[in-house]
Chains A and B, each alone.
Chain A
Amino acid sequence: MDLVVLERVLFAGLALVAAVSGFLVIVQPHAVYAALYLIITMGSLAGLYVLLDAHFVWAVQVLVYAGAIMVLFLFVIMLLNLPREEVPWAPRDLRRIVLAVGLAVVLLIELVVVVGFRTAPAKAPALVEGFGTTAMVGRLLFTKFLFPFEIASVVLLVAIVGALVLAKKHFS
């Protein structure tokens, strides 16, 4: 098979799996299954990154999101032993429905504006030599994107301190 065709087929398959399991995350009444569908979504996204030649991002996606964060999600869900919820996605409250529909319409308009009124380049720009490699990502993080990178680490540090303060109520 032609490689371009293969790539398209893979893209379509992965995108479909990501979208469907993303939808199932929302409608699934059981919290454990919802978390598992979220893992499948993340795995499909990781596959899409590989198709984009971004191997480092693939590794980080699998290692951090699928391998660590979701394990903690499941850990908490199982510790709390959440019961099966009865149709949580059909609220009776009228105000909530109006809010949800309104937000959905805004999102739809935004999507149309972003996708519809912008012409995509006919041909994707050629790949830079070494695109997506660890060396390249590292160099960019420490030169061009140094400031956002450091800001992100400060934000994470604040989050860690915040979590500690919340978890430890009594400081002796």
Chain B
Amino acid sequence: MLETLVVMMVKIGVVFGVLLLVAAYMTWLERKTIAAIQVRWGPTRVGPFGLLQPIADGIKLFFKEDLMPSQVDRVLFVLAPALSVVPAMIAFAVIPFGGTTTAFGLLSRPVPLQITDIDVGVLYVFGITSLGVYGIFLAGWASNNKYSLLGGLRASAQMISYELSMGLAVVGVLILSSSLRLSEIVRAQEGISWWFGLVPIPKWFVFEQPVGFLIFFVCALAETNRAPFDLPEAETELVAGFHSEYSSMKFAMFFMAEYANMATAAAMATTLFLGGPLGPFGPSPVWFVGKIFVLLFVFIWFRASLPRFRYDQLMTFGWKRLLPLALVNAAGTAILVAVL
């Protein structure tokens, strides 16, 4: 009993700590990567390769003046950053980040590397992340600023639109694995299949559901408000969108939420399509983190390469291209599985 409790606390602590660390160091990775793409240096001053830059930024944000404009809705203005960051943090609770471990023989029996394994894992992640929109939305409204409000309205319309396609893109995976439990979805991707009887490839769902993976990834970009879908904070038209009026740690919390959401989205894409922590050799958490970092790198790469969508383009793309494509993909998978 005590061992179970301690193991649970340690797992929660590790996931929480790593998520915060990833959120902080994503800013470093992002600045360095974009700098490299734009042939600049990026942060170099604080520590070797600017590695201490996120810490310095954190300290700076912590000591900044915490401004509260006079006409804001005070309760919601304070509540909004918290509402944004909490769902981003707890969505990770059901994602398996490794196989089983005995912590080098310390524990009496193997423990799965996953905080909790619930029957509706996929729906849990979708449900919790869909609550994240309230933080952005209420921040936009409570700020009592037209640019903020526009940013908040854009965010909510965008997230609802792309959530549909995202859900439908996953249906193919659910049909193939016949479970909503994330550990079973990972288990369904174990093993190797042969391409034309010659090339061995892992049985990851990305090879059976390439269209689904593409739709999922594009929707993940839109759901996390990343470029080219970062209209809620389009600086050329909306100052800084929903967080125009925020400063200090409240501002930092929105950023933490955005990067934690990116990590969760990448982790979901990894779990659903890239075999999660499965790898041919070596410790499984390393594979999991590695796959996530590849996806996060692509997130940043997109931001450095693509211009922002116009709002009507965003809506047309979501409703008239992605949604029908996701529907066809889901129906096609269902028919193929039924026939074969």
A66 near B: Cβ within 8 Å? Answer: yes
CB distance from A60 to the nearest CB of B (A): 7
A66/B131 contact (C-beta < 8 A), A32-B141, A133-B119 known:
yes
Decide: A78 and B149 in contact? CB cutoff 8 A.
Answer: yes
Contact between B130 and A67, CB atoms less than 8 A apart: yes
With a cutoff of 8 Å between Cβ atoms, the chain B residues found around residue A66 in the complex are 127, 130-131
Binary per-residue interface labels of chain B (194-209) against chain A in the complex, 1 for a CB within 8 Å, 0 otherwise: 0000000000000000
Docked pose: A119 CA to B12 CA in angstroms? 44
Which parts of B91-145 form the interface with A (CB within 8 Å)? 118-120, 123-124, 126-128, 130-131, 133-134, 137-138, 141
Please, which residue of chain B has its CB at the minimum distance from the CB of A77?
B141
Of B53-61, B150-158, B308-316, the one touching chain A = B150-158
B163 at the interface (CB under 8 A from A): yes
B214 at interface by CB-CB < 8 Å: no
**Nearest chain B CB to A37 CB, angstrom units:** 12
Contact B163 A134 (CB under 8 A): no
Any chain A CB within 8 A of the CB of B20? no
Q: How far is the CA of A63 from the CA of B179 in the complex (A)?
A: 18
Alpha-carbon separation in the docked complex, A20 to B91 (Å) = 27
The reply to whether B130 and A74 form a contact with Cβ atoms under 8 Å apart is: no
Contact A75 to B156, CB < 8 A, known contacts A55-B120, A133-B119? yes
Tell me, rounded to whole Å, the shortest Cβ–Cβ distance linking A140 to chain B: 15
Contact of A71 with B134 in the complex, beta carbons under 8 Å: yes
Q: How large is the interface on B (under 10, 10 to 19, 20 to 34, 35 or more residues)?
A: 20 to 34
Verify if A39 is at the interface (C-beta below 8 Å from B).
yes
Tell me if A56 and B123 are in contact (CB < 8 A). yes
Query: Are the C-beta atoms of A59 and B137 separated by less than 8 Å?
Result: no
- B160 and A71 contacting across the interface, CB-CB below 8 Å: yes
Of A59, A68, A78, which one neighbours B163 at CB under 8 angstroms? A68
The answer to whether B160 and A59 touch across the interface, beta carbons within 8 angstroms, is no
Q: In the bound complex, do residue A63 and residue B134 qualify as a contact, i.e. CB atoms below 8 Å apart?
A: no
**How many inter-chain contacts with C-beta < 8 Å in the A-B complex?**
67
B179 CB contacts on chain A under 8 angstroms: 134
Chain B residue at smallest Cβ distance from A60: B123
Asked if A79 CB lies within 8 Å of chain B CBs, one says yes
Report yes or no: B134 in contact with A39, Cβ–Cβ below 8 A: yes
Q: Which residues of B contact A78 (CB under 8 A)?
A: 137, 141, 149, 152-153
List which B149-208 residues lie within 8 A (CB) of chain A: 149, 152-153, 156-157, 159-160, 163, 179-180
A44 to chain B, nearest CB (A): 14
- Specify which chain B residues have a CB less than 8 angstroms from the CB of A156 in the assembled complex: none
Q: How far is the CB of B134 from chain A (nearest CB, A)?
A: 7
Q: Smallest CB-CB separation from A72: which chain B residue?
A: B160
A62, B123: Cα distance in complex, Å: 9
* Nearest CB of A to B279, in Å: 28
Identify which of residues 28-83 in chain A touch chain B, using a CB-to-CB cut-off of 8 Å: 32, 36, 39, 55-56, 58-60, 62-63, 66-68, 71-72, 74-75, 78-79
Contacts of B156 in A (CB 8 A): 71, 74-75
Instruction: Among A59, A75, A133, find the residue whose CB has the most chain B CB atoms closer than 10 A.
Output: A59
In chain A, positions 118-143 with a C-beta closer than 8 Å to chain B are: 132-134
Q: How many angstroms from the CA of A117 to the CA of B325 in the assembled complex?
A: 55
User: Which of A55, A63, A67, A79 is the one whose CB lies under 8 Å from B118?
Assistant: A55
For residue B152, which residues in chain A have a CB less than 8 angstroms away from its CB? 78
> Which residues of the partner chain A approach B180 to less than 8 Å between Cβ atoms?
134
Instruction: Report how far A170 CA is from B152 CA in the complex, Å.
Output: 30
Q: Which residue of A lies closest to B124 (CB)?
A: A59
CB–CB B137/A63 < 8 A: no
Cα of A60 to Cα of B152 in the assembled complex, Å: 25
The docked-state distance in angstroms from the alpha carbon of A32 to that of B120 is 31
Measured CB to CB, the residues of B under 8 A from A are: 76, 118-120, 123-124, 126-128, 130-131, 133-134, 137-138, 141, 149, 152-153, 156-157, 159-160, 163, 179-180
Q: Can you show 29 pairs from A to B with CB atoms below 8 A apart?
A: A32-B141, A39-B134, A55-B119, A55-B120, A59-B120, A59-B127, A60-B123, A62-B127, A63-B123, A63-B130, A66-B127, A66-B131, A67-B126, A67-B127, A67-B130, A67-B131, A71-B133, A71-B134, A74-B134, A74-B141, A75-B137, A75-B156, A75-B157, A78-B137, A79-B153, A133-B119, A134-B119, A134-B179, A134-B180
List 19 other contacts, CB 8 Å, given A67-B127, A74-B137, A132-B119. A39-B134, A55-B118, A55-B120, A56-B119, A59-B120, A59-B123, A62-B127, A62-B131, A63-B126, A67-B126, A68-B130, A71-B133, A72-B160, A74-B134, A74-B156, A78-B153, A79-B153, A133-B119, A134-B120
